[in-house]
Each structure stands twice: as C-alpha cells, then as structure tokens.
Amino acid sequence: MSLKSAELHVHPPLRSITARLTLFYTLATLIAVAAFTAVLYWKMTANFDVEHLHFLRAKAQELVEDFQDGGNQPSALLSEIDKETTAIPLRQYEARVLALQSAVLGQTPGMSTSLPSTIFPMPVAPSAINRTATRDWYKDGHHYVLVAFNTHAPGTSGSTYTVQLALDVTRDDALLADYRRGLLIFLLLLLPVLVLVGRFVTKRGLRPLERITRAANVVTPANLADRIPLDPPWPPELAKLVGVFNEMMERLDEGFTRLARFSADLAHELRNPLNNLMGELEVCLTRERSADEYRATLNSGLEECRRLATLIENLLFIARAENAEKSVSTERFDTREVCEQILTYHAASAAERGVRLVCQGDAWLNADPLLFRQALGNLLANAIRYSPPDSEVRVLMREYVAGGVEIEVRDQGEGIAPEHLPFVFDRFYQADPARARRGQGTGLGLAIVRSIMELHNGEASLDSRPGEGSVARLRFPGRIADTKMTELSSI
C-alpha cells in the first residue's frame, strides 16, 4: 500500500469520553427543555384561540339578545355597541351593523379606515361561530380576529341585519412574543450551565475508570500477582470489566510463571548435554589419544548433539502449534491400521525391555494422520520406557459420545503419584528426574501430545495410581473445527 493510500485510511482522533458524554447530556437536556417549553407555548396559543372564540360567540349572543330586547330594532344594537366601544380608550372589540345591500347603519368610530367591511368573512349564525368562520387581519401593528353573523326579527317578513365583529388580540400576541423571547434567553443561559453540570457529572461518573487506569499503570512483570481490589464495590457497568482485568492479570501471572519455569528448565536441559560434550572433548584433548578413543569421543558427542537436535525440534513443534496460522489438513483413516504400523515401529524397543504390545478395537477418525502418529507414538514410547519387564502395553480404540473417537494406551508400570498428575503435560516436567535420566527423556513428549490434541479441538488426559500403571487417553471430537496451525506435519 502506498503512503498516499495509507493516509486516506487514517481516522481522525476521537473526542474524549468526557467531552462526548457532556455533549450528549447537554443536547439531550436542551432538547427535553425545548420540547417542554414548545408544548407549553402551543398550549398557551391554543388557550388564547379558545378564549377568542368564546368571547366572539358570547358577544354575538349578547348582541342578539340586545337586538331582541330592543324590539328587534337595529338602534338597540347600535346603542349597545356605542356604549361598549366609544367611551373605552382601549377597545376590546369593534363592531359594525349592516342592513341589506351592505348599507352601513352604524359602526365603531374609525373602523372604516382600519377594518373595511369587505375584509370580513361571510356571515354565519351566532351559534355557528368557530375557527373556520373567522379570519385574521393585521393592520398598523394590530392583530384582529374577524367574524360576521346575521340576526333578524321573528317571522318571515322580518328584516335581517349583519353584525361584523373585530376582536383586537394584539396584547395577547405581545404576551406570546414576550414568552418566546423569555424562552430563548432561558435556553441561552441554560446552555453553559448544562455544559458545566454535564462535565462535572461525567467526570464524577468516570472516576472508577481512573482507578482502573491507575491500577493498570503500575503493572510490571514484578507485581503481576496484584489485583484490582473489589472494595469499595464497583458500579455494575464496571464490575465485569474489573473481573475481566483481574482474570487477565491472573493469566499473565500464570504465563510469566510458566515462562520463567520453562526458561529455567530449558537452560537445565541444554546445559547437561553441552557440559557432557565439553567435558568429553576437554578430557580427550588433555593428551594424545588413539584413533579408537577419538572415535568413541566423537560418537558420544554425536549422541549428545542428536539429543540437542531432538530437544530443539520438539520445542519448535510446540512453538509452532501455539502460534498456529494454517488449518489442520484432516483426512479419514482407519485408526486400527495406523496403530498396528506404530506398534511394528516400536516392536524392537519393546522386545528389548520384554514388553508385549497389544492393539484392540477399531474406529475411523477424521484427523491429520502424521500428527496422530506422533501423538500416539509419544504415548507408546513413554509406556514402553516405564513398563517393567514381562509386562504388557495395550492400545484400545473405540467410538464415544457424538461420533468422537477415544484412544487409550494402558501400561503396567510403577504409576505416578496423584500430586504430579496435574503437571505431567507441562514442558520439561519430570515426576521423577531419575526416570528421565534412565530413559534419556526431555520432558516434552506429553507437552507435544497436548499441543496436537488442542490443534484438533480434542483432549489429552492421564490417569495413574502408584503400583497400578497408567492410562493415557486421547479424545478426538466427532467434527474437528477449523483450527489453525503452521506446517507442523513437516517436522
């Protein structure tokens, strides 16, 4: 990938959690407050509209009653309108009375200039006055709600008159405008307060993360045994994180301990053959030797080199198995046939120790044949090495739960004490170092077996009792998952 294309994929740095939570808190609160105030504003506007309609409807009914009380004469209407509008400086409403052919019988003074009769809606019955029967009119900074209704004398021959009402709602509009300005000022003043409060709350809420950060900062290889204390109790959201962190520390502590032990064991295993090799060479070089003595020294050195080569190959196998990248190449084969081939290969060493080899059972297995041979061969070599003369090593194979295959290697050796069983599959672990010296073992055979079984998603176990022999088991699952490994079969 070119430098230019790599730059295109660089993501901008993210804001801190404190900044993001503060932003979200502020926005959420502002939206909630704005929505609440908007509902209040809408409710106030709706209430004003209801009050306006209620006033117009009540005033229309009142004028109709005045018309009827005045003998159904328009003069009664004009007198009532004049009394309610002319003498009052701040008129609440203005009115006009029209006869047929839109002849003006009377009106509030000055109404003809600001509220001509042509702008009013079509007249309706007083009881039919609603929002659809009104019209809004704006003139010279004033806001009017207009409505017109008919009233007539009883009987079919009575005259009909039209009354036009104009309600001045300018003061209500001013009140709503003041309310809007107040809300805007309130939201602007609320914004910095929300930011400060949000930052304070967020920092206080993230304090436990600072405790975790401080605990992680002091972690070194020298204090891997330390854990994040569970007291005082952690918030539920972080309790799981603390638990996972402590489990990680436990795994790291265990891994460093095993690595330290492995390094010490490796140094010990490498030192012995190297010391033997150097000692023999130094003794050989102290004086002139015969050809036979030089040949014997070289043969002994070659044997030590072979032991070193075997040790290195076994370590390389385990390292590759633990850092696997390729899939296990599995195939279906007859385990009985492969077992008999392995028994034939180990027949000579078994005969030297007077050990009989027996193969029982039959099963078909999906696995890597070479890795299977190596695992079974290591178990069989161990069983032969530690079996007494005139004893028997038996290999049994059978199918078990869910189509899996179980392989058992039973010997009649001296057995292993219970306290050693949990560690027999660890690298270089020797339950009895004298046994290793007797058989020239490296302590890696069972570790390799476990690595092979992990590559197959299987399980390796060992049961043993002192004086009763040992039983090693390999359990392969019915369906081997897509596990990963390097090209181990080439080792």
The pLDDT value recorded for residue 486 is: 35
User: CATH for 236-318, among 3.40.1410.10, 3.40.50.150, 1.10.287.130, 3.30.70.360?
Assistant: 1.10.287.130
The pLDDT value recorded for residue 408 is: 92
Secondary-structure class of domain 19-178 per CATH = alpha beta
The pLDDT value recorded for residue 294 is: 79
Structure tokens at 35: 């929505």
The pLDDT value recorded for residue 283 is: 80
| Residue-range domain boundaries for the chain | 19-178, 236-318, 326-490
Domain 326-490 has CATH 1.10.287.610: no
Tens digit of pLDDT per residue, the chain (491 long)?
444 444 445 555 556 778 888 888 889 988 999 999 999 999 999 999 999 999 999 988 888 888 888 878 888 888 888 887 776 666 678 888 888 767 888 888 888 888 898 899 999 988 888 888 899 999 888 899 999 998 877 654 567 888 989 999 989 999 999 999 998 998 899 889 988 988 888 888 777 778 878 877 877 777 777 777 777 777 787 788 888 888 888 888 877 777 776 677 667 667 767 777 788 788 888 888 888 887 888 888 887 787 777 767 766 666 666 655 555 678 889 989 999 999 998 888 889 889 999 999 888 888 888 888 888 988 998 889 888 898 999 999 998 877 789 999 999 888 888 888 787 877 666 666 544 444 455 667 788 888 888 888 888 898 888 888 889 999 988 754 333 333 344 43
Q: Which residues contact 167 (CB under 8 A, 6 or more apart)?
A: 52, 55, 56, 92, 93, 144, 145, 146, 147
The pLDDT value recorded for residue 225 is: 76
What is the identity of the amino acid at 441? G
The predicted model scores a pTM of 0.49
Q: Answer yes or no: same fold for 19-178 and 236-318.
A: no
Nearest to 396 by CA among 407, 382, 412: 407
The pLDDT value recorded for residue 131 is: 86
Task: Please state the three-class secondary structure of 27-84 as a single string.
Answer: HHHHHHHHHHHHHHHHHHHHHHHHHHHHHHHHHHHHHHHHHHHCCCCHHHHHHHHHHH
The pLDDT value recorded for residue 435 is: 47
Q: What is the DSSP letter of 489?
A: G
